C-alpha cells in the first residue's frame, strides 16, 4: 500500500488480503476431496513445426473441475498444491492420465507419426522419492514408447546443483525419455549453466516471445539463446506465440518449434483425437 493511503484504502487492502488467505485455506481443504474424487481434467496444447504448422507433440495442462467455482486453471491451485505436498498425488494422476491418453493417440495415426506428450512436473514432485521409478512403471503400463514422452521441469529444480536430481535426470534420459526446461529465461540461471544440465529441449518463456518482432534487443537475446541451445544440441520450443509477426521473426531467427494461441488453444482429449484424425501431424 502506498504511503499516505487513506484509512479506507488500508481497510480494503486488509480485507482483500484476508479474503485471499481464506481462499487459499478453503482451496487447500477442498483439494483432498478433489484428489479422492479425481476432479481434475487434462487439456492438451499442440506444439507445432513453425515452418509448416504441423503438430509434433502436445503439452498436457491440468485443470480442476471445481464443484462450485467451475474449471480452475493451474494458476489458481498449483502453488497451494505444492506448498501442501498434494502436488505429489495430483502429479501422479496427471502422469497416469496423460500417458494413457498419449497411448490412445498412437493408435489413431500411422506408426512413427504419433505426437509426443509433454508433461509438466513440479520440483517438489520430482524430488519425491521413487518419482523416476513410478514414471517408468506407468510408462510401461500405458504401453507408450519412451521417446513419446517429454517431462518439463523448471530451473528451480536445477538450483543448488543437487546430485540426486542430476542422477534422476540421467536415469530418465537413459530410458529414452526427453527432458525439457520450461519457462527458460524467467529463472536465475545463467546461460552457461545450460552446458551442464542433462536436458534435450529448451522452452523459451512467453514474455520473450511476445517482444521478438517489436523489440530488436529482445530479438537479439532470443537469437543468442537459440544459437547457444543449438550448439549444445538442444531443441528449442517457443512458448505462447500469439502474433504472426513474432512467429515470422522466430522462424527467421532459426527457431523451429513453438506453441501458442496463434495455432491452437489447449483442447480436450476427444478433440485431440479428432485433430489427429485430420492428419495435421508431422512425423
Ligand atoms: P507452462 O507449462 O509454461 O504452460 C504454458 C501456459 O501458457 C499454459 O497455461 C497455456 O495454456 C498458456 N498458453 C499457451 N499458449 C498461450 C498463448 O498463446 N497465450 C497465452 N496468454 N497463454 C498461452 P495454463 O494451462 O494456465 O498453465 C499454467 C502453468 O501451470 C503451466 O505453465 C505450468 O507451469 C503449470 N501446470 C499446468 N499443468 C500442470 C501439471 O499438470 N503439473 C504441474 N506441476 N504444473 C502444471
Ligand atoms: Mg510447460
Ligand atoms: Mg512454460
Ligand atoms: Mg509457466
Measured from the alpha carbon of residue 242, the closest ligand is 1
Amino acid 5: pLDDT: 65
Ligand 3 ion: residues within 5 Å (CB) = 182-183, 239
DSSP string for residues in 12-73:
HHHHHHHHHHHHHHHHHHHHHHHHHHT-EEEEEEEEEETTT--EEEEEEEEEEEETTTEEE-
Amino acid 197: pLDDT: 86
Please tell me the distance from the alpha carbon of residue 267 to that of residue 58, in angstroms, as a whole number: 10
Residue among 47, 60, 74 whose CB has most ligand 1 atoms within 8 A, to mutate: 74
Using the CB atoms, write b or e for 226-240: b if 16+ within 10 Å: bebbeeeebbbbbbb
Higher pLDDT, 158 or 57: 57
What ligand 1 atom has the least distance to the C-alpha of 241? 18
Model confidence over 130-165: pLDDT tens digits?
A: 999 999 999 999 999 999 999 999 988 887 778 899
Contact 81, 31 (CB under 8 A): yes
Residue 157 is placed in which grid cell? 529444480
| Paired residues of 49 in beta bridges | 257
Place 182 in a pLDDT band, splitting at 50, 70 and 90: very high
Place 103 in a pLDDT band, splitting at 50, 70 and 90: very high
Residue among 34, 58, 61, 155 whose CB has most ligand 1 atoms within 8 A, to mutate: 61
Amino acid 265: pLDDT: 98
* ipTM attached to this prediction: 0.98
Amino acid 282: pLDDT: 56
**Ligand 4 center from residue 155 Cα (angstroms):** 11
**Ligand 3 center from residue 93 Cα (angstroms):** 20
Residue 215 is placed in which grid cell? 523489440
Average pLDDT estimate for 254-282: 91
Please tell me the distance from the alpha carbon of residue 266 to that of residue 45, in angstroms, as a whole number: 4
Contact 152, 180 (CB under 8 A): yes
Quick check: 187 pLDDT over 80?
no
Amino acid at each position: 500500500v502506498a504511503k499516505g493511503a487513506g484509512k479506507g484504502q488500508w481497510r480494503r487492502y486488509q480485507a482483500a488480503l484476508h479474503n485471499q488467505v481464506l481462499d487459499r485455506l478453503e482451496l487447500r481443504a477442498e483439494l483432498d476431496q478433489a484428489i479422492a474424487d479425481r476432479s481434475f481434467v487434462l487439456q492438451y496444447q499442440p506444439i507445432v513445426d513453425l515452418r509448416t504448422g504441423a503438430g509434433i507433440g502436445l503439452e498436457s495442462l491440468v485443470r480442476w473441475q471445481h464443484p462450485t467455482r467451475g474449471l480452475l486453471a493451474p494458476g489458481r491451485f498449483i502453488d497451494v498444491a505444492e506448498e501442501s505436498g498434494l502436488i505429489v498425488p495430483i502429479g501422479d494422476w496427471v502422469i497416469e492420465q496423460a500417458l494413457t491418453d498419449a497411448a490412445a493417440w498412437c493408435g489413431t495415426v500411422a506408426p512413427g507419426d504419433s505426437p509426443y506428450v509433454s508433461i509438466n512436473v513440479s520440483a517438489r514432485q520430482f524430488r519425491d522419492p521413487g518419482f523416476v521409478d513410478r514414471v517408468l512403471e506407468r510408462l510401461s503400463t500405458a504401453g507408450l514408447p519412451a521417446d513419446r514422452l517429454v517431462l518439463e521441469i523448471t530451473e528451480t529444480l536445477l538450483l543448488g546443483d543437487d546430485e540426486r536430481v542430476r542422477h534422476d535426470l540421467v536415469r530418465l534420459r537413459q530410458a529414452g525419455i526427453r527432458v525439457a526446461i520450461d519457462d527458460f529465461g524467467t529463472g536465475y540461471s545463467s546461460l552457461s549453466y545450460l552446458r551442464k544440465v542433462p536436458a534435450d529441449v529448451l522452452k523459451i518463456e512467453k514474455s520473450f516471445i511476445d517482444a521478438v518482432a517489436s523489440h530488436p534487443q529482445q530479438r537479439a537475446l532470443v537469437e543468442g539463446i537459440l544459437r547457444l541451445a543449438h550448439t549444445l544440441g538442444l531443441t528449442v520450443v517457443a512458448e505462447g506465440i500469439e502474433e504472426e509477426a513474432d512467429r515470422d521473426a522466430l522462424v527467421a531467427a532459426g527457431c523451429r518449434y513453438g506453441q501458442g494461441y496463434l495455432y491452437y488453444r489447449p483442447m480436450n482429449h476427444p478433440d485431440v483425437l479428432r485433430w489427429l484424425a485430420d492428419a495435421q501431424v508431422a512425423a
